[in-house]
Structure 1
Amino acid sequence: MGGKRKEGPRLPGVTYSNVAWQLDVPPPVVPKDRKQELTVAFIESLSGLIRDVKIKFSTEFSDTIQRGLRVRIQPRGATYFARVQYQGREFRLRIGRIDAWTLAHARTVCASIVRHVSTGNGPPTDEWIELHRQALLAADARKKGHGDATVPYVPEVMARQPAATTWTYGEARVAYVEWLKSEEAVGNLAPATIRNYSKVLTCPALLPFDERHVARLEAADLAMAVEGLVKEGKRSQANDVSRNMKRFFRWLAEPAQERRSGVREGIMDRVRAPKLSGVKGRQHFPSLAEAGLILATSRASGVLNPAVAATVHLAVWTGQRRLSIVTAEVEHFEPWDGEPGWGLWRCYHRKVRRTNQTGKPHVIPLPPACWRVVTAYLTWHRLEYDGATPWAFPKQRPAKAGRPARVGHLVADTLTHTMTAIPGSLSSPHDMRRVISSSVQDVAGIHIALVGHVLDHADDEVGVRKTNGTTRRYTEAEMLAFKRPVMEAWERLLEPAAAAAVLLPREELKAELVRRRAEQRGVNRDAKRVRSKVVNRKPQEGTNKRRAGVAGAPG
């Protein structure tokens, strides 16, 4: 038993094999040319071939009319798809089965897919392709007289992207601010720096980024936001946004954050901050007479609030930056031992980094004419506040009802607004730096290096600070011997200018200051006065009843 079975005679019409008996079926005829013009007849022939013959192979045909369109034949059916290239990779995007799509619709959608990819938006989603099909079907229905067919809205772009697991812009901004605060805690950043960065990164022009992932923000997105600010006339803000966003994205690309942010290094470096046209032309160089006028106004009794007047006085005398002045503390002022009539102001460096490097404060000697006014003000301060606040120039706004009183320092803008509101003044606090520098150099002949020590300039090319950093660290901290000649020269120039200043009568000067400050705030004083009269004429609730009760009361 066993062994190989002998083959019998072969019968006509029957195909023999080693595994099964099969009917003699002719093999399917498939066109050999894989690249040709697809036609409706060709697509119908493919449909019949798939319907009548069980195909056990796969093949493709490319359309010579529409670039990228292909029809793929598989055992389970034939499908249109688009073949495109994006960022060096090949994508095969499924359009749909040939029995659900007409050839004309497939070509139209394939052209839209190619345009979507070629414009830099990447491959579209399947939902976008289906919306196109529905829109084409609705358009055909309308052509056939079905006027009630609603054509769905197809967005211009609907990119196919993987689900992002990295930070959104809002999340990244919160993490960045937390990092800034940690740097502040160790003394590397000033609180004002953090407030400025946070304010810029939350400006309205950047709010549309909040829900977007930072890994998907490109230089073009930031450039459009900057361009929008420039068109609105906010060129300075556009400059701040550009610089701060580039700094922010450099931090996101650091190794400590790159996995959570997904940001590539240098992604925003191509964005250019808009130029601040006319900045040099807008700079104001006050005359010595104007500086004397401002100083004389600050000394006028009862014209300005004492704290505000003292900040103006200090700005004219020392030329220090606004924030250094308004954040001064009472303990920062002290008499200069061994120099009768002189005082010292330890205002520290504006740059926190420089203070950390040297460990030395920025001390300014105050000449007798300046120190007398400062001493009188500090005496008033002790009587007024009795040590309740460490700030030398406290804020004057009262506390809100139900909240504990917290006395902070004056806002830097208060100093600017007050100085520009003085009749005859066109200067800001920063302009005082220019008048001091130019006057003591041109008139008194003081060397520029010595002036730089008083003004706390970082670019001291010829002074001790930059010539030899090691020598600077071992040099006496205050460097008062360099600074005193500058302040003596400034006293000789400023005091005569203040004495020669002609001011309005006290009441007129005070009224003019109030009027100018109202204009700065955009307040219509006449309308405000009318509203106050109306409110005062309105009887308070219960007033008439109480009056009637008093009138009818027994005597």
Structure 2
Amino acid sequence: MATQERSEKIGRPVRPEPTGRATGSKPGSGALTDAKIMALKPPATGQVEYPDTIVPGLRVRIGVSGAKTFVLRKRVAGKNRNITLGRYSERLTLPEARKKARQILSDVEMKADPVAALPKPQKRSATGYTVNALWPAYKQSKAELRKIGEIERVFKRHILPEFGDRAADGITRSEITRFIDDVAQRTPVMARNILAYFSAFYTWALPRLDRLPGNPCRDAGRPPKPKPRERVLSDEEIGALWHVLEAEGAPFGPAIQLLLLTGQRRNEVFEAEGAEFDLERALWTIPGERAKNGVAHLVPCAPAVVSIIESLLDHDRGDKLLPARGNWEVGPSGFSKAMARIRAALEKQVGRPVPHWTLHDLRRTTATGLQRLGIRLEVTEAVLNHLSGARSGIVGVYQRHHYFDEKRAALAAWSKEVTRLQGLHRRKSRLQKV
């Protein structure tokens, strides 16, 4: 029988791992895996550490909050040193944590002064405030902002996993620069947004931290503003995408169909609530607090949109039109994996590589399609809820409720066009199979 995998609880004797393991396992099965980490349950009290058998000293720690953190334990100069590597997340995966741990262990072995090779522990602030400790008060101070949902999403997904456990006045400009540079390699726009939100946090925190000399984000490296995107899906791609979305199912399938048919913004669709829809009048009212420009927006619904909404509404399930699977109180997550899956399926449908596209490109595709159908520019801007160009300034104030009938006609025409493109794709697919 293989040795039972064990965990180590801080300050207490070693006890068996709660998840257990079947007997007769192969040697080396005590190694950490993503499945094991995701299955870990938070302890009732304290913290629990689970060792990795592949990289000696590497452990994943879970506390009562459920947060999972990689730590490296190394004995140096007769003393155990604990090095926090970071939160288990999309940015710090298990392979990345192992790579990081191996680099530190190698540095320790190669340096003449092994203690100097280890990352120096950050000094705690006089207040002891970490970013995690300050976050609830900061969030409360911004509760009235229209974009508080986006601020919270950026903090929870990017900033808190990286810096949450750190003393707020111990984070340096260079650390933030490296972090932002790393994000910018994948998503330059998001990198700029993260830096802006983190800088606003430090502007708020500055008078609350005596030892904070200044806003470390102020002079941190800022990625250049990306060039405006011009990607518009072709007719062939639109027809094929609709076929893919029908097979995808909720929440992403119908949500992306709504994005394409209405031209509204991603958050406006994915955070929609059932109460915003009046199906008898075929009308979707996006409240001002959820609209990017703060202006309540009336979106006439074409019959295809009404059909999608009817399939999603479940008043016994909760307020969210598109809830997360297993949690009806919040919106869906897992956008990166879903988009990778949908992009791959689209390429399979068209039978060739498809240039990269994003959810926001669907909004541009809708706008371009409306123009191609002969819809006037000011009506297209009204559909998109733009207060720029023809509807900006004082003109926009008086035209806010204009063009309703024109918007309904425009979106109905675009829905018919998408249906036509979907039909063309189906006929083409049948002919190819013959």
TM above 0.5, one fold? yes
Does residue 305 (structure 1) correspond to residue 249 (structure 2)? The answer is yes
Does residue 335 (structure 1) correspond to residue 287 (structure 2)? The answer is no
Which of 429, 432, 435 is the equivalent residue of 2:359? Answer: 429
Q: Distance in 2 between matches of 1:218 and 1:429?
A: 34
Q: Secondary structure at the match of 1:462?
A: helix
Preserved contact between residue 312 and residue 415 of structure 1 (Cα < 8 Å): no
Cα 1:503–1:187 change in 2 (3 A) is farther
Measured against aligned partners, the alpha-carbon deviations of 1:347-387 in whole angstroms (never above 9, x if no partner) come to 335756743xx5xx32211223443x33xx62x556xx562
Distance apart, 1:273 and its partner CA: 1.0
Preserved contact between residue 236 and residue 421 of structure 2 (Cα < 8 Å): yes
Q: Distance in 2 between matches of 1:418 and 1:198?
A: 24
> Which residue is equivalent to 1:322?
266
Q: Distance in 2 between matches of 1:306 and 1:353?
A: 25
Distance apart, 1:466 and its partner CA: 3.1
> Which residue is equivalent to 1:179?
138
Quote the sequence identity (%): 15
Aligned partner letter, 2:153: R
Does residue 284 (structure 1) correspond to residue 214 (structure 2)? The answer is no
Q: Distance in 2 between matches of 1:178 and 1:324?
A: 26
> Which residue is equivalent to 1:500?
424
> Which residue is equivalent to 1:467?
394
> Which residue is equivalent to 1:210?
166
The structure number with the bigger radius of gyration is: 1
> Which residue is equivalent to 2:332?
410
Distance apart, 1:240 and its partner CA: 4.8
Q: CA RMSD in A?
A: 4.3
Cα 1:471–1:393 change in 2 (3 A) is same
Aligned partner letter, 1:210: R
Preserved contact between residue 235 and residue 276 of structure 1 (Cα < 8 Å): no
> Which residue is equivalent to 2:70?
none
Q: Secondary structure at the match of 1:502?
A: helix
Measured against aligned partners, the alpha-carbon deviations of 1:260-296 in whole angstroms (never above 9, x if no partner) come to 345456664232312376x657x53211232133234
Q: Secondary structure at the match of 2:426?
A: coil
The aligned runs of 1:374-389 (5 Å cut-off) are: 374=308, 378=310, 380-381=311-312, 385=314, 387-389=316-318
Q: Distance in 1 between matches of 2:228 and 2:397?
A: 35
Does residue 449 (structure 1) correspond to residue 407 (structure 2)? The answer is no
> Which residue is equivalent to 1:347?
286
Q: Which runs of 5+ in 2 are unaligned?
A: 1-111, 118-122
TM-score of the two chains, using structure 2 as the length reference? 0.57
Q: Secondary structure at the match of 1:345?
A: strand
Aligned positions, number: 308
Does residue 294 (structure 1) correspond to residue 217 (structure 2)? The answer is no
Q: Distance in 2 between matches of 1:386 and 1:221?
A: 47
Distance apart, 1:210 and its partner CA: 1.2
Cα 1:503–1:202 change in 2 (3 A) is farther
Preserved contact between residue 283 and residue 298 of structure 2 (Cα < 8 Å): yes
Q: Which runs of 5+ in 1 are unaligned?
A: 1-150, 157-162, 338-342, 400-404, 510-555
Aligned partner letter, 1:175: L
TM-score of the two chains, using structure 1 as the length reference? 0.46
Measured against aligned partners, the alpha-carbon deviations of 1:64-113 in whole angstroms (never above 9, x if no partner) come to xxxxxxxxxxxxxxxxxxxxxxxxxxxxxxxxxxxxxxxxxxxxxxxxxx
Distance apart, 1:194 and its partner CA: 1.1
Q: Distance in 2 between matches of 1:432 and 1:353?
A: 17
Q: Distance in 2 between matches of 1:164 and 1:304?
A: 48
Q: Distance in 2 between matches of 1:346 and 1:419?
A: 28
Preserved contact between residue 219 and residue 267 of structure 1 (Cα < 8 Å): yes
Cα 1:191–1:471 change in 2 (3 A) is same
Preserved contact between residue 323 and residue 330 of structure 2 (Cα < 8 Å): yes
Cα 1:325–1:440 change in 2 (3 A) is same
Cα 1:348–1:503 change in 2 (3 A) is farther
Preserved contact between residue 344 and residue 364 of structure 1 (Cα < 8 Å): yes
> Which residue is equivalent to 2:82?
none
Aligned partner letter, 2:302: P
Q: Distance in 2 between matches of 1:391 and 1:369?
A: 20
Q: Distance in 1 between matches of 2:113 and 2:138?
A: 47
Does residue 242 (structure 1) correspond to residue 195 (structure 2)? The answer is yes
Cα 1:456–1:389 change in 2 (3 A) is same
Preserved contact between residue 200 and residue 244 of structure 1 (Cα < 8 Å): no
